[in-house]
Amino acid sequence: MDVLESIFTRALNLELPWNITKIEFTESEGKIKIFIDFSRGSVFQCPKCKKEVKAYDTTEKQWRHLNFFQYACYLVVRVPRTDCTEDGILQVEVPWARDTADFTFLFESFVMTLCREMPVNKVSQIIKVDDNKLWRMMNYYTEVARKLEDYSGVSRIGIDETARTKGHNYVSLFVDLQDKRTIFVVEGKGAEAVAEFKKDFTEHNGIPENITDASIDMSPAFIKGVEDNFPRAEITFDKFHIMKIINKAVDEVRKAEAKEQDILRGQKYLFLKNRETLTDTQKDILKAIESMPRLNLKTVRAYHIRENFQGIYQEETRGEFEQALKKWYFWAMHSRIEVIKEAAKTIKRHWHGVIQWYDSKVSNGILEGLNSLVQAAKAKARGYRTFKNLKTIIYMLTGKLDYSKVGLPI
Ligand SMILES: [Zn+2]
């Protein structure tokens, strides 16, 4: 064996009976081919019963491997088949790849890592591999990694829906609030999505009766879904979703009022942000608007009601929390602003689940974070074509799946 062959033997971690017989550079194609063979008379395990048998015949197979400098590297291997008395003629397993794959494990790991960081079609261009092949590989590993997931310890879940595209396609996400990971992704939304989650959850050793808390928005479909499928779960209406309702009301007030008050035009986000997070310019504008009491702007009153609602979440005891919420409700109902009253009524109708936050302290805040990852996933999966692909990339980014369990060293 020459020096180069021995370097590659070590780099590839090749063990007997495998050995390198030839290394071929094709400068013009930018390729390097490493030819691998086995010593004569070697025995191999039958892939089924693991009994040791001699090689029956061979076929040549090729696997793409990690680049060697600028060269695309391929392993060209004489792969033996065994003829086991029990199982018949079968191709033996090789240590560097799945037999049906076109890539080695290391190359697959590398590609999976790239696809987490950049759009899949871009990865496809860089490594010059058709993106359908990349998707097939990612779908395969994600599916087998998910099969091994165990949800027996999950007790607090969050549910959220996100638009798949602009339009009416929805994706529902089910999140383990403790481990901060997505445990189920399904097309559609509402009660049916929850039922599908329950089925999958049970298949992964999840125990529906162990779910003590579910954090959801106030959509009747999710409420029904949780009540039907997770009877012991206390529903918490997530603060982020309640804020969405209040923000929508505040914005409607501002929009209507801006027709007569120029000062409110173009200030949508000023009134939808917390005071501390405003920019300096926004702070100045807000101060100016607030110091003009003669205007008696509904928008300012609505903003103060919004601000007060957030303050409720700082209360120390459950009693104080509920007391503050009651006060807030009274104020909102006497605001003489119709849309604010509507928002307050919605909260009143869901009183128990709003208060429940104090005990459960669960929040979809994690989900908001995951949601932005999901948006990123959609971007990375640009041209994902099928829902299956989108699902895969969401799991890859937010599912915390253990790919090392399925043979990938990532
Ligand atoms: Zn056998």
- What distance in angstroms lies between residue 56's CA and the mean position of ligand 1's atoms? 13
* pLDDT at site 239: 86
Pairing of strands 71-84, 31-38: parallel
pLDDT digits (tens, 9 = 90+) for 183-212: 999 998 889 999 999 999 999 999 999 999
- What distance in angstroms lies between residue 53's CA and the mean position of ligand 1's atoms? 8
Question: Average pLDDT in the 396-401 region?
Answer: 92
- What distance in angstroms lies between residue 82's CA and the mean position of ligand 1's atoms? 8
Strand partners, 292: none
- What distance in angstroms lies between residue 38's CA and the mean position of ligand 1's atoms? 20
- What distance in angstroms lies between residue 94's CA and the mean position of ligand 1's atoms? 16
Region label for 224, one of left (φ > 0), alpha (ψ between -120 and 50) or beta (otherwise): alpha
Residue 165 DSSP SS3: coil
- What distance in angstroms lies between residue 249's CA and the mean position of ligand 1's atoms? 70
Confidence band, pLDDT 50/70/90 cuts, at residue 11: confident
Confidence band, pLDDT 50/70/90 cuts, at residue 371: confident
- What distance in angstroms lies between residue 296's CA and the mean position of ligand 1's atoms? 86
Separation in Å, CA 201 to CA 82, 134, 206, 227, 310: 40, 28, 5, 16, 34
Q: Which helix (H) or strand (E) segment is 171 a member of?
A: strand 170-176
Separation CA 1–CA 6 (nearest Å): 6
- What distance in angstroms lies between residue 234's CA and the mean position of ligand 1's atoms? 53
- What distance in angstroms lies between residue 89's CA and the mean position of ligand 1's atoms? 9
* pLDDT at site 167: 55
Q: Which amino acid is at 309?
A: F
Cα dihedral 370, 371, 373, 374 sign: positive
DSSP 103: B
- What distance in angstroms lies between residue 141's CA and the mean position of ligand 1's atoms? 26
- What distance in angstroms lies between residue 360's CA and the mean position of ligand 1's atoms? 55
- What distance in angstroms lies between residue 55's CA and the mean position of ligand 1's atoms? 13
- Pick the closest to residue 22 from 52, 2, 50 (CA basis): 2
* pLDDT at site 410: 67
- What distance in angstroms lies between residue 87's CA and the mean position of ligand 1's atoms? 4
- The residue among 14 and 363 whose pLDDT is bigger is 14
**Token digits for 24?**
């071929």
pLDDT digits (tens, 9 = 90+) for 145-183: 999 999 999 999 999 888 766 555 888 999 999 999 999
Separation CA 184–CA 196 (nearest Å): 9
Confidence band, pLDDT 50/70/90 cuts, at residue 90: very high
Residue 328 DSSP SS3: helix
- The residue among 337 and 377 whose pLDDT is bigger is 337
- What distance in angstroms lies between residue 88's CA and the mean position of ligand 1's atoms? 7
pLDDT digits (tens, 9 = 90+) for 299-323: 999 999 999 999 999 999 999 999 9
Per the CB < 8 A criterion, the answer to whether 179 and 400 are in contact is yes
End-to-end, the C-alpha distance of the chain in Å comes to 32
- Pick the closest to residue 313 from 229, 237, 199, 222 (CA basis): 237
Region label for 105, one of left (φ > 0), alpha (ψ between -120 and 50) or beta (otherwise): alpha
* pLDDT at site 165: 64
Strand partners, 237: 216
Q: Where are the alpha helices (DSSP H) in 313-350?
A: 318-333, 338-349
- What distance in angstroms lies between residue 59's CA and the mean position of ligand 1's atoms? 19
Separation in Å, CA 69 to CA 109, 141, 267, 410: 18, 27, 54, 21
Q: Exposure pattern of 131-154 as b/e (b: 16+ CB <10 Å)?
A: beebbebbbbbbeebbeebebeeb
pLDDT digits (tens, 9 = 90+) for 241-287: 899 999 999 999 999 999 998 889 988 999 999 888 999 999 999 99
> pTM for this structure?
0.84
**Token digits for 316?**
């120390």
* pLDDT at site 377: 77
Q: Hey, how many other C-beta atoms are within 10 angstroms of the C-beta on 356?
A: 19
Q: Where are the alpha helices (DSSP H) in 182-279?
A: 191-203, 220-229, 239-258
Q: Hey, how many other C-beta atoms are within 10 angstroms of the C-beta on 206?
A: 24
- What distance in angstroms lies between residue 95's CA and the mean position of ligand 1's atoms? 18
Among the residue ranges 61-65, 246-250, 377-381, the one predicted with the least confidence is 377-381
- Pick the closest to residue 328 from 365, 355, 353 (CA basis): 355
Secondary structure tally for the chain: helices H, strands E: 14, 11
